[in-house]
Amino acid sequence: MRPLIGVTTYVEPASWGVWHDLPTALVPQAYVEAVTLAGGRAVLLPPDDLDADVLRALHGLVLSGGADLGPQLYGAEPEPLTDTRPDRDGAELLLARAALERDLPVLGVCRGMQLLTVAAGGTLHQHLPDVLGHERHRPAPGVYGTHTAAFADGSRIAGLLGDEAEIHCYHHQGVADPGTLLVTGRAPDGLPETVEDPARRFLLGVQWHPEVIRDKRLFGALIDAAGG
């Protein structure tokens, strides 16, 4: 059987057919295809903060991208441009913490990397242009930024991608303090691009969107760790 990989979903207004602006649990098909092409079976997980029992049936977890995390989760007040989804925050932190307790393989993508950081006691920058002085990580609505990321020698990410790689990113928040996680990749401006926990079976957060190119190196590593 292919490893079952849970993928967290968005809840956003969506329209199809005769239906318009219905609250809908969804995720870009790119995530599903990335898991499938790497040899796994994607299982979509809508926000549910009652328990994390679904992890008993899963072999791995992808924490997907999306809206900003609530800053109260890391002891900060919201800034004007922070756009949150409290239903996702509660449900996904529950899943992330339970996955860490079980040592379940986890890949965090963009918001997912930030979620892992907060779960590990870290903090975020709420609006990167205020910190970095540029908007290259989210150059325009719906337009991915592209730049290189450099990776630490001996890290898991370097073992998968080499010393550096060109990445596609779309975010206006970023990691300020990684908590107990290890920063193993950075953008040219110094922003953390990857976090890891070498003591775990597979825990990797990336600040970019590898699903866009169906990156078999990252999703394949998750599947391999999950027993694929």
Q: How many angstroms separate the CA atoms of 55 and 70, rounded?
A: 24
Q: Is the pLDDT of residue 92 over 70?
A: yes
Q: Is the pLDDT of residue 162 over 90?
A: yes
Mean pLDDT of 50-70: 97
Mean pLDDT of 39-48: 97
Retrieve residue 127's tokens: 């609006």
> Whole-number mean pLDDT of the chain?
97
Quick: pLDDT tens for 136-148: 999 999 999 999 9
* Residues β-bridged to residue 60: 5
Kind plus residue range of the DSSP H or E element containing 15: strand 10-16
Q: Is the pLDDT of residue 61 over 70?
A: yes
Question: Which pLDDT belongs to residue 185?
Answer: 98
Q: Of 96, 193, 182, whose CA–CA distance to 136 is shortest?
A: 193
**What domains sit in the chain, N to C, each tagged with a CATH number?**
4-126+174-225 (3.40.50.880)
Kind plus residue range of the DSSP H or E element containing 220: helix 216-225
Question: Which pLDDT belongs to residue 43?
Answer: 98
Per-residue exposure over 170-203, b if at least 16 CB sit within 10 Å of its own CB, e if not? bbbbbbbbbeebbbbbbbeeebbbbbbbeebebb
Q: How far is CA 199 from CA 4, 138, 219, in A?
A: 23, 32, 19
Q: What is the pTM of this model?
A: 0.96
Mean pLDDT of 16-44: 97
Per-residue exposure over 55-84, b if at least 16 CB sit within 10 Å of its own CB, e if not? beebbbbbbbbbbbbbbebbeeeeeeebee
* Residues β-bridged to residue 11: 25
Q: How many angstroms separate the CA atoms of 193 and 218, rounded?
A: 14
Catalytic residues: 110, 209, 211
Question: Which pLDDT belongs to residue 228?
Answer: 65
The helix/strand count (H/E) of the chain reads as 6, 13
